Structure 1
Amino acid sequence: MTLTDPETDPEPATGTRHADPDLTDPGPTDPDLSARIAGALAGAAVGDALGGPVEGWTPEQIAERHGGRVRGVVGPWHGDDWRTARPIAPYHKGDGHVTDDTLMTHALIRVYGKVRDHLDAYAVAEHLVPELITNPVWIPELEAEALPLQRIFLAEKWLVARLHYGHVDPREAGTGNIVNCGAAMYMAPVGLVNAANPRGAYAEALDMAGAHQSSYGREAAGVFAAAVAAACRPGATAESVVDACLGLAKDGTRTAIEAVCEVAARHDDFESALGPLRTAVAPYDTVGPDYRAPSLGARRPSRLHAIEELPIALGMVLVASGDCRQAVLGAVNYGRDCDSIATMAGALAGALGSPVPEEWTDTVRTASRLDLHGPATTLTEVTYEIAARDRERHRARDEEFAHLTRTTPATNAPTDPR
């Protein structure tokens, strides 16, 4: 599925397409950088909180449990028995509580706030891992202040085991981890600091994700970051975001996105799309039909497969024509790993400029004791700083290249050798 040709709009290798405060002010229908960053982070948080309590179930089970489709914040699936119903995950999912998707996203923003430049796998080892094992934060699902390590799940605990205790090369530490959406789910900040530069976001996320994931899990992290960056482009649409992804994605990830989005383009409401989107992604998903009883081949490296979450999130944004409310609700009612799907869908819709419903943000902010303003402000400031550094780096390289080729830096036109 290609609605436009991504190759007709090539991007520079550096970050010269970053938002610039000196550019003409955006119009009322074209949100500026700070609004897109705030919207993406708020959309991700509410998607996470709405999806958490119905994660792991099917659309039919969700509808039966809640007397119809979920339309907002709901309580825990097992009610007051949430502490004992699932001993492996005794978390208070529901009631507006964010999960590890948001905890990891905000931890990554804190890393950007420290480094204030592009990140790589070594930054994950040197800064993100200490965030997980050193600094206590309020964890809504535990109803307590604790280290993030005490809430993140097995694929994320891998970071601590491999990097802090195993001292593995950060660029290779992700090899051997289960292949899932663990790295992709918190890569929205990478897309935002590379706003309007999908190729740069893709490269940065792939580098970082090497510390966490391999195979199509790592690829999904790069493509999701690219999608968020593409959503920040002035005039971006759900279709243009999908096209940017198809221009960068490789192997099974690309094929899965194409298959899902071809189906999504035929629907304009999530209710009719729930079954067809699952059917479209099933050949690429290794988990299998029963999410709580994964197949023997689940989450193993492959060039033919993809995580389920990213293609479905893109499909739901496409079905919703970029509308945040509808994209998030579609992702939530899809079930399965719907907190991560809705996190991605909410981030993309928010970056596109769709308003995030205030009743959701107010509930999540209060219930999770979550600051949605501070992280957005920090990331906006850092994004401007990175953009300025990118311009200087590009300018210096342009001058050096001009000297080597005897061209004029402003035009790169050859000078007269005489």
Structure 2
Amino acid sequence: MTPKGEESSGAALDERIAGALVGAAVGDALGGPVEGYSPDQILERHGGRVHGVVGPWHGDAWRTARPLAPYHKGDGHVTDDTLMTHALVRVYARVRDHLDAYAVADHLVPDLLTNPRWIPELEAEALPLHRIFLAEKWLVARIHYGHADPREAGTGNIVNCGAAMYMAPVGLVNAANPAGAYAEALDIAGAHQSSYGREAAGVLAAAVAAACAPGATPDSVVTACLSLAKDGTRAAIERVCEVACRYSDFASALVPLREAVAPYDTVGPDYRSPGLDARRPSRTKAIEELPVALGMLVVAGGDFRHAVLGAVNYGRDCDSIATMAGALAGALGSPVPGEWSKTVAEASRLDLWEPATNLTEVARELFARDVLRRRAHETAFAGIGGPGCSD
């Protein structure tokens, strides 16, 4: 398998981090209003493919229309994917070191539970806990109320993309180190997910880290994922990306990518009515969102606009797919369209660039600290008869 794609730009670390975080938020906002629908339903509702920011599916009736009420999805509003991503960035900004499941318990959970913030979909200030999905509320229920061991708190939760959707910051602080990002994300995600949901979180972080490497391409990103991914997650990524290599237009790839991932997806053909075996732990299954996001990255040759629009028009859980595709394309250095980022920032009343500035500072501090730790290890290892150090 050799995905096509141009080499990434020579973007600096700060540009890649901004591209990934802003790109993820833009993808999230574009996908939100069509989440849960099929490509054919999206085509009919909008009179064609979605090519930018659109309004709510039910128009002005969004406040009462089921099953979406009371959330204002559309008009450039980000969803819980971005709220969780920014929350994880705030944890990095406080801890200023690598994170683990205990950092989730000590910092992320209290942030969700006690700090009111502007929630775009509610058009009000509220606790993030009041907006996040049930799979994310699990963090609060298990850790804050249930006093579960943070490393094992994810066990028993529904297995979905809930942890993977906000793991881009882990890849960014481990830029160009996919294996390090994978290991750190698996530790963090243990508080939230198990099985292939936790695995997807590790692989998404690894993919973002790989996208930050000099000369990275969609090919090198997928290769890094396949070198680390396990079980059904690896099989699903390999199959979807093999199919994606045959296409260069997202419209023609929508059905083939769904057919490629379907054997690994537990939700089934009706996204809003999953079967009894849906979202249960398995060695052979995978979440749908990550393989499809990587597939769209391959189809697009790494181009941000093409990858995100492919993810959006795919439907189903397309806000999370577009969040992941946007993070990956942005980390590769593909520019996020200014008209989209401006609209999303203004509509969501969020500074999309501040989290990137903060995370860049943390990433640089972390790297310097890691170098010192590595040198201390080299010295200690040499002292017990390991290879000597030249200095």
TM-score, with length taken from structure 2: 0.98
* Post-superposition offset of 1:295: 1.1
1:339 to 2:319 alignment: yes
Equivalence for 2:120: 140
2:339 is the counterpart of 1:359: yes
Change (3 A) 1:242 1:406: closer
Q: Secondary structure at the match of 2:118?
A: strand
**What 5-or-longer segments of structure 1 have no aligned partner?**
5-27, 412-418
Distance 2:329 2:30 in 1: 15
Counterparts of residues 12-23 of structure 1 (less than 5 Å):
none
What are the within-5 Å matches in structure 2 for residues 15-54 of structure 1?
A: 29-54=9-34
Pairing partner for 2:241 from 261, 274, 293: 261
3-state SS, counterpart of residue 141 of structure 1: coil
Shift of 1:3: 6.7
Quick one: distance in 2 between partners of 1:231 and 1:396?
A: 29
Residue 409 of structure 1: how far off its partner (Å): 1.4
> How much does 1:407 deviate?
3.0
Letter in 2 for 1:165: Y
Larger Rg: 1
CA distance in 2, matches of 1:404, 1:2: 44
- The alignment's C-alpha RMSD in Å is 1.3
Residue 294 in 1 paired to residue 305 in 2?
no
Distance 1:3 1:94, change over 3 A: closer
- Residues 264-305 of structure 1: CA deviation (Å, up to 9, x unaligned): 001011011000000000000000000011011100000000
Counterpart of 2:76 (choices 76, 83, 96) is 96
Query: 1:126/1:89 Cα in 2 relative to 1: closer, same or farther (>3 Å)?
Result: farther
Once the two structures are TM-superposed, the CA of residue 29 in structure 1 deviates from its matched residue by: 3.6
Deviation at 1:350, TM superposition (A): 0.1
SS in 1 for 2:276: coil
- Aligned mate of 1:194, from 144, 158, 174: 174
Give how far 1:147 is off. 0.5
Q: 1:3 to 1:365 in 2, by over 3 A?
A: closer
Where does structure 1 differ by over 4 angstroms across 4 or more consecutive aligned residues? Answer: none
269 and 140 in structure 1: CA distance in 2 versus 1, 3 angstrom threshold: same
Cross-structure match for 1:285: 265
The CA deviation at 1:89 is 4.6
Within 1, Cα distance between the matches of 2:181 and 2:89?
A: 15
Task: Find the aligned partners of 2:316 and 2:3 in 1 and give their Cα distance.
Answer: 29
Are 2:225 and 1:242 equivalent residues in the alignment?
no
Q: What does residue 138 of structure 2 align with?
A: 158
String of CA shifts for 1:231-285, please: whole Å, max 9, x gaps: 0000000110000000000000000000000000010110110000000000000
The one-letter code matched in structure 2 to 1:100 is D
**Does the 8 Å contact 1:3/1:243 carry over to 2?**
no
* Residue in structure 2 matching 1:86, options 66, 75, 78: 66
Give the C-alpha shift of residue 87 in structure 1. Answer: 5.2
SS in 2 for 1:138: strand
Single out whichever of 83-92 and 37-46 deviates more from structure 2.
83-92
Percent sequence identity over aligned pairs = 79
Q: Is the 8 A contact 1:252 1:306 kept in 2?
A: yes
1:230 lines up with 2:202 in the alignment: no
**2:377 counterpart of 1:397:** yes
- The CA distance in 2 between the partners of 1:238 and 1:201, in whole Å, is 18
Which 5+ residue runs of structure 2 have no aligned equivalent?
none
TM-score, reference length from structure 1: 0.91
What is the rounded CA distance, in whole Å, between the counterparts of 2:244 and 2:319 in structure 1? 20
Q: Secondary structure at the match of 2:45?
A: helix
Matched to 1:104, the amino acid is M
How far has the Cα of 1:397 moved from its partner?
Answer: 0.3
Match of 2:350 among 363, 370, 382: 370
For the pair 1:409 / 2:389, whether they are aligned, the reply is yes
**Structure-1 separation of matches of 2:187 and 2:275:** 29
